[in-house]
Each structure stands twice: as structure tokens, then as C-alpha cells.
């Protein structure tokens, strides 16, 4: 869901940048030295998952995994996703540096929401509850991200209204796919490395 450069208005770009700076600062404050490897691995997963994308107007459709990243990292999702998006902008010209703040916020804010809604029930719940919450985290991460992208486009101008609708619509199947992937990852991690679910605390 990269928004290309030259699309958004200056107020939207500035607001996105400020929100991302605040979220990243808070995420870095919570990042202890021993958590850096987990943050790096999840940043890499986010980077790879969103490399293959299909353009949709000024945005794109691809796997995101921000629900999984948020579920595991909490506020540390902000610096994790920021690094991945910055590398994509630098290496592959996905998105852009002027829209980096907005793109980061659109992906990282839903990640933090997924953490607060589902991390505790995933950690303490039974097998079925973990699956359901994992699926919901993945789906909500994508769905909320699509809504934020749509909001950024509409806030720039009414001419983007139909494109904003399209962005939300085409991400509906992605929500299901990401929900399944996240649920699978949650079950796997609870079985082989349950302590990683404590990283974002």
C-alpha cells in the first residue's frame, strides 16, 4: 500500500511525517538491546512480503504482515516498518521519501492497534483463541491500513475518492490471506518459541 510521491498534499505529508516521528521515537524508547534481533527479523519479513506488488492507481496491493509485526513488537513496529519502507524507497523506488512518513504511519499504526487488541489473548489464550486472534490481527492490520491510505487520498482531494474506494475494495481478499498467514505464524510461534510473543511488552 505504498503511496507514490507527488500524490498527497503538503498538509497530509507533514501530518504523516510528524505522527511517524512520534511513533518511531516511542518505539525506539521501548527497544532494549536484546530486542534488536527480533525487530530486525520482522523488519526483513515486512520488507520481503511487500516486494511483490500490483499497482492500483497511486497505491498498490501486496502482502504486508503488519498485523504480525505489530502483534509481536507493539510500538517497536514503527522503527521496524520505517526501516523496511525506507530501504524499499531507496532500492526499488516503491513509495518515495516525501511520502515515507505517511506510508509508515499507514502501516505501523494498525500494527500497534493489533498489538493492543490481540497480544494478550494470543499469549494467554487457548489454542482456538490464539488462532482466532491471530487471524483478526492480520485482517485488521491490512483493513485498517487500507482505510488509512484511503483517508490520506481523500484528504488530499475529492478527485481521489473513487481510487480510495478501489484501494479498500481490492484489499478485502488480502485481509483474509493475511489473517490466515498470521494465525499460522501465531500457532507456530506458541509451539516452538512462545517467548517471542513477549517481545513487545
Q: pLDDT of 115-162, one tens digit each?
A: 999 999 988 878 899 999 999 999 999 999 999 999 999 988 877 888
Q: How confident is the model at residue 178 (pLDDT cuts 50, 70, 90)?
A: very high
Question: Does residue 53 contact residue 170 with C-beta atoms inside 8 Å?
Answer: no
> What was the pLDDT predicted at 194?
80
Q: How confident is the model at residue 60 (pLDDT cuts 50, 70, 90)?
A: low
Question: Does residue 76 contact residue 115 with C-beta atoms inside 8 Å?
Answer: no
Q: How confident is the model at residue 199 (pLDDT cuts 50, 70, 90)?
A: low
Q: How confident is the model at residue 67 (pLDDT cuts 50, 70, 90)?
A: very high
Residue range 10-198, CATH number: 1.10.1760.20
Euclidean distance between the first and final Cα of the chain, in Å? Answer: 28
Using CB atoms within 10 A of its CB, is residue 62 exposed (0-12), middle (13-18) or buried (19+)? middle
Q: What is the mean pLDDT of the chain?
A: 88
Amino acid at each position: 500500500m505504498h503511496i507514490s510521491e507527488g500524490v498527497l498534499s503538503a498538509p497530509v505529508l507533514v501530518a504523516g511525517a510528524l505522527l511517524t516521528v512520534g511513533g518511531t521515537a516511542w518505539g525506539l524508547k521501548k527497544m532494549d538491546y536484546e530486542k534488536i534481533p527480533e525487530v530486525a527479523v520482522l523488519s526483513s519479513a515486512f520488507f520481503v512480503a511487500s516486494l511483490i506488488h500490483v499497482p492500483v492507481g497511486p497505491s498498490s496491493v501486496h502482502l504486508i504482515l503488519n498485523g504480525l509485526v505489530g502483534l509481536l513488537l507493539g510500538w517497536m513496529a514503527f522503527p521496524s516498518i520505517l526501516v523496511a519502507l525506507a530501504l524499499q524507497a531507496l532500492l526499488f523506488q516503491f513509495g518515495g521519501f516525501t511520502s515515507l512518513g505517511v506510508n509508515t504511519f499507514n502501516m505501523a499504526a494498525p500494527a500497534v492497534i493489533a498489538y493492543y487488541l490481540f497480544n494478550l489473548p494470543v499469549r494467554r489464550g487457548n489454542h482456538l483463541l490464539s488462532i482466532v486472534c491471530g487471524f483478526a490481527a492480520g485482517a485488521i492490520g491490512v483493513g485498517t491500513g487500507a482505510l488509512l491510505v484511503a483517508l490520506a487520498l481523500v484528504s488530499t482531494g475529492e478527485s481521489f475518492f473513487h481510487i480510495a474506494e478501489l484501494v479498500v475494495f481490492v484489499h478485502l481478499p488480502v485481509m483474509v490471506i493475511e489473517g490466515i498467514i498470521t494465525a499460522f505464524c501465531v500457532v507456530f510461534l506458541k509451539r516452538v518459541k512462545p517467548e517471542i510473543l513477549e517481545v513487545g511488552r
